[in-house]
Structure 1
Amino acid sequence: MEFPAFFYCRNIKRYQGSGIPVMRRMCVEVIKSIVLNIGLLVILAQILARVKLVKKYIVREKHKTKEYIILIAIFGIISVISTYTGYGVNGAIANTRVIGVMAGGFIGGPIVGIGAAIIGSIHRYIIDINGFTAFACAISTLAEGIISAVTAKYVKKNKYKSSDLFAITFFAELLQMIIILIFAKPYQEAVTLVRVIAVPMVFFNSMGMVLFVSVFNHIFKEMEYEVGSKVNLIFEITKKCLPLLQSGIYNKENCSKISDVILEYSKDLAVIFTDKENIICVKGKTLNCIGLNRFLPGLANEVLTKKKVCIAEQVPEEDVLYKSLEKMVAIGAPLMKYGQPFGCLIIFANKFKISYHSEVQFAEGLSKLFSVQFELSEMEKQQALLQKAEFKALQTQINPHFIFNSLNTISAFCREKPDKARELLIALATYFRNSIQTKDGFVSIYDEMDYVMAYLQLEKARFDERLNIIIDMPEDIDCKMPCLILQPIVENAIKHGAMKKKQGEVKITIKEADKAIKISVMDNGLGIPQNVVHGLKYNTIDNGRIGLINVQKRLCYIYGENNGLDIDTSTNGTIVSITIPKDISNKLEPKNLPAYKNVV
């Protein structure tokens, strides 16, 4: 059966015959028709790509039922138009229907592709029920819709590469030719038809698909550009807000300042910060009706429950965002610490935008970076508390150690020299009074020398003439240092160094450098074994030298791993040095102390 003239632009009746020249002329006419139809479809695509509603539906990741129906109708109508504008060839139609069907799948997704294919295939069949290619063309159209549905995700992931579009359409059109040869009867007419339409439809429709989809592809490129711009904004905003985020304080004042920065850089309409129970910050002229300390909006509850980004376009009338969402859309993102939400960031955008994708990426990126900074701040605080606790623990280990040795020395004088014992007890009391008054664990170098002198007074009394003490110290040093850091070094020099000989000597030298104070304690003992030195450096020593262990750990905690004890030892003696950075923000007045210089 031959089609009525209105089914196609022109028919090929005048070329009926089987000669090769005739078939060539037929091919030329088919090519002209298909190229013309492709041009019409590209123009139609240009028009559709400028329709805001179409653009809005195309760029969405997930569609509502209404949107699916509209997109299926659009691409289904395109396939129907392609059938009507096709070129009649001996009872068949050379057409561009594949473009409408498969483009629907590539652009709108699998459901749209199959939906458009169903419309196109049913229409093709019912307009020519008795035609010898009607059934074959209906089947092939449906097959092309399925192919587009299967490959849609791949094509979109590869950003609609021309080679992918061409190859998939090429394969689909080849499949159509095979289906025509299988189902169209009589077979000889099917062969003749395929010889005429195969090259024009397979090749030119593949090219047409590339051109048609490229018109819509620029919409996706615009969206990607917008997302890229938002990513840059995320880093700019985070950089600007870094001091506020590093404080770790999540309150109205800090959130208000952060909101001002977000609105300044992003040009969004409004920003809300919430905790887990209330709204704590509202910024934006469009949200004047929302007060602070209000119950959480439904969006915030959803975000905190699901722990992911959520979007609200419409809410119940009793929701605090009801009036605000008449002209805006709200995107909520969770603020997390240790995997648990502690608040919610809500950003408002224009409801009539083509896509919210960039806003979603923006809100999610901001919330993640903010969460990381808040969590790092919390971890730093916890680390500081831990170090302070360990510092106190180390300090309390030193105190009993010193008490034990001091009381042993004093007890030796109680019977033979009670006056001397009384003098030593006063020195010990002075030492502990100063230690108790140290609130932050740091003292001036003069106070630290008070501790050392109290200890030396006790040790000198114990060893008498066997121990010689020399102190070389300038009179005007401005420096703070950790308390009880020097006394254990001096104790080690006396106990494990100088007193290993009949006549022991310990020399304390304090020198001032540009930005630090170097304190050295030298003894004339037999030296420290290398395994002990190695153990102190790498924290593998046992508790036999608890004084030096604690000093090493405290120095590393305060000044870093590379600023512990510096030990130079040999069989002729040992020099233990420490370097204390000057605290230029705390200039100290020298005290009226004894001149700690060349004391013997």
Structure 2
Amino acid sequence: MFNLVPLMLEKVGIIVIVAFLFSQMKSFRKIIQNKHNTKEKVMLIFLFGAFGIISNYTGVEIAQNTIAKTGWLSEIQPENALANTRVMGIVIGGLLGGPMVGVGAGLIAGVHRYMLGGFTAFSCGISTIIAGIVAGYLGRRRKQNGKKITATFAVLIGMIMEALQMLIILLTAKPYEQAWNLVQLIGFPMIFVNGFGTLLFMFIIQSIMRDEVRVRANQTNRAFQIADQTLPFFRQGLNTHSCKEISEIMLELTDADAVAVTDDHQVLAHVGAASDHHTPKANLATGLTKRALESGKILVAKTKEEIFCFQSHCPLEAAIVLPLKVKNKIVGTLKMYYSQPEKLDKVQQQLAEGLGNLFSTQLELAEAERQTKLLRDAEIKALQAQIHPHFLFNSINTISALCRTDVDKARKLLLELSSFFRGNLQGARQMLIPLEKELENVRSYISLEQTRFPNKYFITFQIEPNLNKVLIPPFTLQPLVENAIHYGFPGSKNQGDITIRIFTKDNKLHIIVVDNGKGIPEERIRVLGKQVVNSKKGNGTAIFNISERLNGIYSGQASLTIKSQVDFGTTVSISIPLGSKGVFDRDVESLYSG
């Protein structure tokens, strides 16, 4: 009995070597890795059935309780039997492929074993088919329960099926005494060795599965890496600069020999091989790209003829072209070229297809972001426009009153008003203006008010030096001064004191307007800046507008706070991040280019 163990291990080694060689074939790995359709199940049937046939041919012939022959067995004497590893392959096939594969592989290996002959031919044939049926059923049930086919589980089922074969031999093989002697000789070696062989076979299968997981993980990681590096450029839209950067990133992080991006009518970028004739701003060079734009489908070419480049000496021999879509409209293509067709394998195709979908999504997000900015720009312009008539009507009322009492002062007031609006015509078209421009507006406004009410308001400016060129939203300070004058001192006979402080701290520009007026009730402060408030004494439009514009331009990084105490005065503070040009990223030259 123990002499049989080394021989059986040798036979297991043959099957394991064959399985290992198969595992290096892409087609075999694909069958093992994928969910199995009918075609792939048929292939599994023949594959594991073949393992059973090999086991039959390479088994050990047993005659009169002794080892008779160990070579290639094409026929077994009627009074002899066979010790082999047939059940191992059938059990693994059934566990992986389900009942259909188990039954099919069992029939192939069982019928072949029956045809070899021997007094256990029928018993072994029947037991092989039963092993396939049981393994297939148990494998399917385990998968339905959400459990994996582990090596331990496979070994256990393999050993049980081999023990079942021994039982069937005892029940069906004749004469019984000879069957009993045979089982005593081969039972333990076959159960043990088949279990060990099943373990090795499952290690190979698990290695294939782990390789698939690693490949997918690497693909996912690479796709995320590419997406992360290309996102800033896709946000710029499809142009020659952004597309060149995108192509260079993809060339570095993929196995492609050349990468190109086009819009719907011309090449925007091409880096890598064939850059001599695939040039930016040129018309589309390949018929493959034109067909992809027309069909909206992913196209794969494995020959130069399929690429259909107008240059006969073009080194590119394989390509995958992916349409880029925004809201189901084709706006361009992403192309990955290869100088050797075999480099464009399934992994590269899957990566390219994933990136094509990802890039289309990034373009849609960039377009949505651009539309959001345009809408926000329009909203901010509308909010700024609301302030113009607010100040204009107040000024006209002041001029109207002075026209009856002092024509010279009215004339001076008109000049101040003219100067104010002349400066603001340009400011109203901008998101940001220099601080010195806003201070000019404030001084013009104060001049208008003090002309109407001389010696009623005393204004103090405390401005940190060298802040004239700092950019702030227009109509940020002037409405605060206007509010302090009109709502801080209604009917007051005492002189009003207003202090304007502007300084930098913690990399922020701070604008503070303090008055000693009547103050604001606490319940009103809670809503000021958050909504327009219906009130006979003012609706808070100016504060609301300033707050909305700060939020829109600085994306929540700026702040406006109000502190007040009834009969003691009010302090309004604005904090703006220094060096920020808001979400529109403009500089001083572009602001005042017109």
TM-score, with structure 1 as normaliser: 0.75
What is the aligned partner in structure 2 of residue 11 from structure 1? none
What is the aligned partner in structure 2 of residue 363 from structure 1? 352
For 1:311-460, what aligned pairs fall within 5 Å after superposition? 312=300, 320=308, 330-331=319-320, 335=324, 337=326, 342-348=331-337, 351-352=341-342, 356-367=345-356, 370-371=359-360, 373-438=362-427, 439-460=429-450
Judge which range, 268-277 or 93-102, deviates more: 268-277
What is the aligned partner in structure 1 of residue 548 from structure 2? 553
Q: Which of 569, 574, 592 is the equivalent residue of 1:573?
A: 569
* Number of aligned residue pairs: 554
For 1:75-94, what aligned pairs fall within 5 Å after superposition? 75-87=48-60, 92-94=81-83
Query: 1:259 Cα shift?
Result: 2.4
Query: 1:39 Cα shift?
Result: 2.1
Query: 1:81 Cα shift?
Result: 1.9
Q: Which of 17, 20, 27 is the equivalent residue of 1:43?
A: 17
Where 2:404 maps in the other structure, the secondary structure is coil
Query: 1:477 Cα shift?
Result: 3.5
Query: 1:394 Cα shift?
Result: 0.8
Contact 1:83 1:95 in 2 (8 A): yes
How far, CA to CA, are the matches of 2:315 and 2:164 in structure 1? Answer: 50
What is the aligned partner in structure 2 of residue 491 from structure 1? 482
TM-score, with structure 2 as normaliser: 0.76
Amino acid at match of 1:521: V
For 1:199-348, what aligned pairs fall within 5 Å after superposition? 199-215=188-204, 217-222=206-211, 224-238=213-227, 240-247=229-236, 249-275=237-263, 281-285=269-273, 292=284, 294-297=286-289, 300=292, 304-305=296-297, 312=300, 320=308, 330-331=319-320, 335=324, 337=326, 342-348=331-337
How far, CA to CA, are the matches of 2:255 and 2:245 in structure 1? Answer: 15
Q: Percent identity?
A: 33
Amino acid at match of 1:443: I
Where 1:536 maps in the other structure, the secondary structure is coil
How far, CA to CA, are the matches of 1:161 and 1:299 in structure 2? Answer: 48
For 1:104-115, what aligned pairs fall within 5 Å after superposition? 104=93, 115=104
Could you tell me which runs of 5 or more consecutive residues in structure 1 were left unpaired when the two chains were aligned: 1-24, 589-600
Contact 1:536 1:549 in 2 (8 A): yes
TM-aligned CA distance change 1:473 to 1:170, over 3 Å: same
Please say if 1:139 is aligned against 2:112: no
Query: 1:407 Cα shift?
Result: 1.9
What is the aligned partner in structure 2 of residue 593 from structure 1? none
Amino acid at match of 1:404: F
RMSD of Structure 2 on Structure 1 (CA): 4.7
What is the aligned partner in structure 2 of residue 482 from structure 1? 473
Where 1:503 maps in the other structure, the secondary structure is coil
Task: Render the CA deviation track for 1:377-418: whole Å, top value 9, x for unaligned.
Answer: 334423322321121111011112222222222222333434
Contact 1:506 1:521 in 2 (8 A): no
TM-aligned CA distance change 1:236 to 1:466, over 3 Å: closer
How far, CA to CA, are the matches of 2:97 and 2:309 in structure 1? Answer: 31
Where 2:519 maps in the other structure, the secondary structure is coil
For 1:58-77, what aligned pairs fall within 5 Å after superposition? 61=34, 73-77=46-50
How far, CA to CA, are the matches of 2:523 and 2:362 in structure 1? Answer: 43
Judge which range, 397-406 or 238-247, deviates more: 238-247
TM-aligned CA distance change 1:539 to 1:59, over 3 Å: farther
How far, CA to CA, are the matches of 2:426 and 2:347 in structure 1? Answer: 58
Where 1:499 maps in the other structure, the secondary structure is coil
Query: 1:434 Cα shift?
Result: 1.2
How far, CA to CA, are the matches of 1:347 and 1:316 in structure 2? Answer: 14
Could you tell me which runs of 5 or more consecutive residues in structure 2 were left unpaired when the two chains were aligned: 63-78, 582-586, 590-594
TM-aligned CA distance change 1:474 to 1:126, over 3 Å: closer
Task: Render the CA deviation track for 1:504-528: whole Å, top value 9, x for unaligned.
Answer: 4142323433545433322221211
Contact 2:19 2:201 in 1 (8 A): yes
TM-aligned CA distance change 1:444 to 1:209, over 3 Å: same
Where 2:528 maps in the other structure, the secondary structure is helix
TM-aligned CA distance change 1:65 to 1:162, over 3 Å: closer
Where 2:334 maps in the other structure, the secondary structure is strand
Task: Render the CA deviation track for 1:117-167: whole Å, top value 9, x for unaligned.
Answer: 442233233344994415523532542673587379789995x74224323
How far, CA to CA, are the matches of 1:287 and 1:114 in structure 2? Answer: 57
What is the aligned partner in structure 2 of residue 521 from structure 1? 513
Please say if 1:34 is aligned against 2:8: yes
TM-aligned CA distance change 1:312 to 1:242, over 3 Å: closer
Where 2:512 maps in the other structure, the secondary structure is strand
What is the aligned partner in structure 1 of residue 113 from structure 2? 124
TM-aligned CA distance change 1:513 to 1:47, over 3 Å: closer
Contact 1:101 1:117 in 2 (8 A): yes
Where 2:571 maps in the other structure, the secondary structure is strand
How far, CA to CA, are the matches of 2:229 and 2:569 in structure 1? Answer: 56
Query: 1:559 Cα shift?
Result: 3.4
How far, CA to CA, are the matches of 1:78 and 1:442 in structure 2? Answer: 78
Task: Render the CA deviation track for 1:179-235: whole Å, top value 9, x for unaligned.
Answer: 667877889987886676554444431221121343455455455545555555445
TM-aligned CA distance change 1:311 to 1:475, over 3 Å: closer
Query: 1:78 Cα shift?
Result: 2.3
Amino acid at match of 2:49: G
